[in-house]
Chain A
């Protein structure tokens, strides 16, 4: 099969990085349109495909199953050979997985844009897309696992542990979220399980895998503490799968499940603090001199993640959840995770790995810094405005009931939303800034590939093949 599907070493990682950048650019563009449509519903209102209810799922599916999955797979395929001492267990499977997943996500998103949707958040793809896509999502899990089992290195570095968690978590969340014929409260629970798991476990695990590799490599310093890293790892894997239901606080979930989510939400924060402390100490005295784009973006991504994890933990408390549930508060968290922490950590990883894969140095460090600033400010402010809007809306609804001045429907509801609409407008404006960051990043990676200064290609010299990698 290898002769039919040629796959030079590291080709899988290279392709998935390129795919992640492409999906991010397109997904971010749709996210900007959705944000504008939220604030100005009258814009493009004669086109069905330009409605908020189409633009939002299109952007999220591109960002999660397109960008997120490609990023996760790129990290897995880049780190695994380097941490195991051998080539990927099956390079030709990675090629098939790449082609298939890119095609299916693209077609699936197109069906969502055309209105062939199931109405379930992040599970809008039809079944004939879901089944093959799930099978293709298993390829990284199998390849990485088999490579790990047959490795030549005796120890398992922390990044490899995070990679293993990520490659298995992604397909599991996708499977649960798309199971058909679920009835009753199970329908709601499968949605919260999947969306929560994607945002609080799968994507953060991928980012942490990349961070724990990039920072020691770029700084030349040894990892500060392996026990701290593994402690954060097990906390994330344990807590990250059971906090999704915090999204619909007060809904017909079992009360014990809400209590579980509240406690385990703190686990997300613990995991985020663990990696932040670990990376901070790994930087050591090099923090102030860290100038490489990879280090800057990775560090920014970890700080972003720390804030997002705190917000997710806060959501678990009923006093918070009962106010902000069903407001744009959670929407702000989605934006902060997808376009904030994940994009920043993906950028850090890409700026480290991509030049080594293509033999070209980063096209412009200044452009990379600009990308970081645009993303931090654009995404940060967009998420903040949406969360402020959500808090205001929730408190207004409670106030309406308490004072009896308005009803939370009809004219009363419209008036309550009048207080938060300016926040939507501000979020739309800052989302353009965030989108510019994604565009700048994509262009910088593209220019790196086509016009970057020639530099050494990192060639795998593994023990099992004596260095012959073609």
Chain B
């Protein structure tokens, strides 16, 4: 085939790779061998397209392969689907030279792009992102300055923590003190092993209400009874507060969550507590 290929490429003034792909497509369409097609082209001739059904060029199957969706004026019955054209019964070694070049131009078929390759690349990037954005930093433990142990919570305080999570307090309150200017005076910075950023987390997502990491440090609210009353009637205790009432909770749950929020959550050295 190589001699015909070179000759065809020279005759068509096109790259051999392109000519070979076109010849394969033309051979498939016409029912001839690739060699025969190349031989015809290298001799300056053409290859007649395969005979189409009586419906004419409009039902040529090649457009269907490139545009699988057909939109008709009415719901399309099955019979309008283009059928594959029958192959032309050509002599084994002869080539029909009939139409001028422009009527049987080489078919340019796009190179097949690898679906597997694309999917693998996408998955690779997604996994890389998971490794860099989650796995590596999670296993590294963040930037440790010094480790402060979590204090043990009493049974009532543990119950309160569960109520805190169940009621979604973290959607309005944080328990995460950062080393930034806005968090100065809130208390010691939250570290990577703090209870608030364990499973289940209580670190919260935004501050519609204040940070509750070190509530115990604030004299005015260090009293669990004050917190309990505030949760029942927030606007009466503190005007203009955005705290909604949790009076619908049982007395038991209210007492528990109040005990939790004022609890000593960290085992801090005396000068820091």
Contacts and interface: CB of A to CB of B under 8 A. Distances in A.
Do these two chains really belong together in a complex?
yes
Interface of A: 37-38, 41-42, 45-48, 51-54, 56-57, 81-82, 85-86, 115-121, 145, 148-149, 151-156, 161, 164-165, 168-169, 172, 176, 180-191, 193, 196-197, 234, 237-238, 240-242, 244-245, 248-255, 257, 260, 322-323, 325-328, 330-331, 356, 359, 393-394, 397-398, 401-402, 407-411, 413-415, 417-418, 421, 456-463, 466-468
Contacts of A456: 71-75
Nearest to B247: A46
Interface of B: 64-66, 68-76, 78, 80-83, 109-113, 115-116, 118-119, 122-123, 125-130, 132-134, 137-143, 165-172, 174, 176, 178-186, 189-194, 197-211, 215, 218, 220-221, 234-235, 238, 240-249
Nearest to A162: B122
A46 B183 contact: no
Given A52-B244, A172-B130, A463-B65, A148 B211 contact: no
A234 B81 CA distance: 37
A42 B241 CA distance: 10
Given A85-B68, A121-B205, A413-B209, A254 B130 contact: no
Contacts of A322: 178, 180-182
Contacts of B165: 117-119
A252 B235 contact: no
B207 A41 contact: no
Contacts of B66: 153
Contacts, number: 307
A391 to B, nearest CB: 12
A55 to B, nearest CB: 9
Contacts of A356: 71
B188 to A, nearest CB: 12
A155 B113 contact: yes
A237 B122 contact: yes
B119 A331 contact: no
A421 B74 contact: no
10 contacts: A38-B242, A42-B235, A86-B68, A154-B109, A156-B118, A187-B203, A257-B137, A461-B81, A466-B83, A467-B76
A236 to B, nearest CB: 10
Contacts of A410: 210, 218, 220-221
Contacts of A164: 118-119, 122
Contact of B69 (A183, A255, A323, A460): A460
B142 A185 contact: yes
Contacts of A154: 109-113
Contacts of B190: 251-252
Which interface residue of A115, A237, A251 has the most chain B CB atoms within 10 A? Answer: A251
Contacts of B80: 461, 467
A213 to B, nearest CB: 11
A257 B133 contact: yes
A180 B72 CA distance: 52
Given A52-B244, A410-B221, A456-B75, A252 B143 contact: yes
Given A149-B115, A151-B115, A456-B73, A193 B134 contact: yes
Nearest to B217: A409
Contacts of A148: 115, 118-119
Contacts of A421: 240, 242
Nearest to A116: B166
Contact of A184 (B127, B138, B189): B138
B219 to A, nearest CB: 9
B244 A463 contact: no
Contacts of B191: 252
Contact of A252 (B142, B184, B208): B142
A325 to B, nearest CB: 7
Which interface residue of B184, B209, B244 has the most chain A CB atoms within 10 A? Answer: B244
B202 A42 contact: no
Nearest to A157: B113
Which interface residue of A47, A82, A168 has the most chain B CB atoms within 10 A? Answer: A168
A37 B245 CA distance: 12
Given A169-B126, A176-B134, A327-B206, 13 more contacts: A154-B113, A184-B198, A187-B197, A188-B201, A240-B129, A251-B190, A322-B181, A328-B206, A408-B185, A408-B211, A409-B210, A411-B220, A414-B238
B69 A458 contact: yes
A72 B168 CA distance: 29
Contacts of A85: 65, 68
A296 B138 CA distance: 43
B198 to A, nearest CB: 5
